[in-house]
Amino acid sequence: MSSLTPRIRRIAATAAAVAAGSTLTMTGAAHAAPAAGPAPVAAHSGKATHSGKAVTAAPLAKGLYQSAYSDRNHVLWATASVGRPPVTNSALVKVNPHSMKVKATYTPPVTDAATGAVEAVYGVAVDDKHNTVWTTNTRNNSVAVYSQRTGKHLATLPGVNHAREVVVDERHNTAWASGFGDGSLVAFDTRTYKEKKRVTVEGAGPAGLAVNERTGTAYATDLNGNQIIEASTRTKTPRLIPTGEGPISIALSRDGRTAYTADQKAGSLSVVDLRKGAVTKSVPTGDGTLAVASDPRSRTVLVANRTAATVSLIDPRKGSVVKTVTTGANPNHIEIAHGTAYVVDKSNAGPQGEDQLNRIRVKR
């Protein structure tokens, strides 16, 4: 990692069940019917298939939720969990991003021998500095750490109420997790796995997470409060920044001065000036806006619209959609690495009902 250009990591994992009455429930284990419109990309042979030049799709596993790219190992890690408690089918999946084939799968530890329930994984982030993978175990109110080299489960860290997402700040040896259940952001030391900071906003529903590795500041979308929670290492009191309606995912610009939130209820992207603490642009994207990612090379922002089964490519400076790409049904999360976007869906489009990985090339 260059000391001159800080890496801004983001994460937009989708969790399972949430508190009753929240719009977050649409990201749960049940698969929604595909939206009307162009037919989604499907892969029926177990191999990657092409839809023109826009999207390559391949089936991975049932119950996909999120993915994270490892520069160190040149692999994509994905989480998969199926059904409601007791969840017995869950896996951490290691994927070759070029062939889009599964290299290995690792089963989380069993939590109940009587039912066969496992510590189901949902959110995911990689720590290339320590060669580990961090997951959120939403139904177990915890996060976990796995070895990237062997897939071995290294630790389970309790105390994150309805742990939804996790993001790693390698520069400051910190992993942040969002506790949707009690309005908390919890920071862990990535070397010792001990809790090092906890920030709680009463009544908040922290969902998406991003971190500015240059400053060590973490940002979370508050789904309940239509705002961003800024947790700085320099202050004890979090700063609250208004954003769009129903923010569920967040990404940062390369310089860390701008935040982008996927506003689920509004069906739009908000561009937020973090210094001014104000929304500067609002860009309609489509029904069920769910996940957002920013490409530092092209400065393009991508938004997954779950209900519409599309991904919007946005020029944030102009505040306009420059391209809309159809993916598999129910796109759930976006990860961008080296100018390529990886979108996991919940389409059941594979030959055995697997969900898909969709690969989209982002132009420079």
Largest pairwise CA distance in the chain = 56
Q: pLDDT per residue over 114-124, tens digit each?
A: 999 999 999 99
pLDDT surpasses 60 at 21 = no
pLDDT surpasses 90 at 28 = no
Instruction: Summarize the confidence of residues 117-133 as an average pLDDT.
Output: 98
pLDDT surpasses 80 at 44 = no
Instruction: Summarize the confidence of residues 303-331 as an average pLDDT.
Output: 97
pLDDT surpasses 50 at 17 = no
> Please, which pLDDT band fits residue 54 given cuts at 50, 70 and 90?
confident
pLDDT of residue 53: 55
pLDDT of residue 6: 39
What is d(CA 326, CA 69) in angstroms, rounded to the nearest whole number? 22
Q: CA angle 79-80-83, nearest 5°? A: 145
Least confident of 52-56, 250-254, 305-309: 52-56
pLDDT surpasses 90 at 93 = yes
pLDDT greater at residue 56 or residue 16: 56
pLDDT of residue 27: 35
pLDDT of residue 234: 81
What is d(CA 235, CA 248) in angstroms, rounded to the nearest whole number? 24
Counting beta carbons within 10 angstroms of the beta carbon of residue 72, is it exposed (0 to 12), middle (13 to 18) or buried (19 or more)?
middle
Beta strands in 232-267, from DSSP E residues, in sequence order: 239-242, 247-252, 258-263
> Please, which pLDDT band fits residue 338 given cuts at 50, 70 and 90?
very high
Residues 187 and 174 sit within 8 Å (Cβ to Cβ): yes
- Average pLDDT of the chain is 88
- Name the one residue in this structure whose structure tokens are 């982030």: 125
Instruction: Summarize the confidence of residues 157-165 as an average pLDDT.
Output: 98
Q: How many helices (H) and strands (E) does the chain have?
A: 0, 32
State residue 140 phi and psi, 5-degree precision: -105, 5
pLDDT of residue 364: 58
> Please, which pLDDT band fits residue 283 given cuts at 50, 70 and 90?
very high
Counting beta carbons within 10 angstroms of the beta carbon of residue 352, is it exposed (0 to 12), middle (13 to 18) or buried (19 or more)?
exposed
